[in-house]
Amino acid sequence: MPHRLHQIPAGQTKSMVTWPLAVITAVAFITLGNVTYADTNIVWSDEFNGVSLDTNKWTYDTNNGFWVPDPGYWVPGWGNNELEYYTSRTNNVYVAGGYLHIHAQREAYEGFNFTSGRIKTLGLYFTNYGRFEWRAQLPGGTGTWPAVWMLPENSPYGGWPNSGEIDVVENNGANTASEGATIHYGGAHGNDVYSGLNYNFPTGQSVTGFHTYDLDWTSNSIKFSVDGNLFETQTSWYSNIGTNTTKYPFPAPFNVPFYFLMNLAIGGKYLGNPSTNSINPSLPAEMLVDYVRVYEQTAPLAITVTPQSDGSLSLLWPAGIVCHLQSAPDLTGTSWADVPGGTTNPFVVVPDPTSSGVFYRLESP
């Protein structure tokens, strides 16, 4: 599944020449199952290439639980008997070396024995339908519970589980040979209904290596893949109205925008409530995330060149796609460089008659 447009498939390129300038374009595509969709591009991403967490994209969950305002009570352990205290410190969440690091450690803090990190895009980015992709390396060890998941931004279907939950990746660190993906829904009599499967890694692989985890979400199916291997398809779910057995029309609750969460929990019911003494040897532990990307079908990612009255050239491409301009003096493939200000759309080029020419292309992300 190419995402960098310099990987140009044979027969899918074209050039437009104005002055000694050439624009290189290509068809971007992804394959879902056995079906290939053209013009599928990245519309949101975090590549974690900076020096700190981008707080325009992410915010933190902190503490060891949450407050339910109506009827008004505290839920400890995040409702899962988790043992960590989440913080917003760089001890627990930081960006370095091109990765997001979520770091869990033994530490006496606010009355707890462990600290870790949990971040989310609540209020900053939320969407429904498309392909959602994470490349991540998860920790192993008793008591570690890494997760990549989604919750509704503002569901009309009431509280959890009626409002739904999509668990893209979660793992019991005591078993690094597999990981699970699950959807939660229901709500009748207050009961959580869930459907999920485990993915078993090929011999010699485990969650402790880097893998690509994909969610393909449409109005009538939710599919999970690891490294391009589709292992789970969900097509049946429902949302109850309150605690009674009456249901909202399908595809509720998975037809509204959801936001992303990533965290590294310590202990909890999912792991069988391991003891502190059994967890201690596993820490410190770290979850590394290379990137998070959202793909959608868009207008073709191509550059339109328009001459201006002052002799300059305007380079324009479809809005809403994560990309930037690169230029090169030739097509050897080794001299492409980011254009300063190359995310500006449209981008104005002033021709240089003394130049032997220049090539432009779009790189995504």
CA dihedral 110, 111, 116, 121 (to 10 degrees): -60
Confirm whether 170 is a catalytic residue.
Answer: yes
The yes-or-no answer on residue 110 being catalytic is no
Which amino acid is it at 53?
L
Q: Looking at 82, 170, 179, 232, which residue is catalytic?
A: 170
Q: Which residues of 17-28 are buried (b: 16+ CB within 10 A; e: fewer)?
A: eebebbbbbbbb
Q: Which of 84, 153, 165, 232 is catalytic?
A: 165
234 in Cβ contact with 183 (< 8 Å): yes
The residues annotated with a catalytic role in the active site are 165, 170
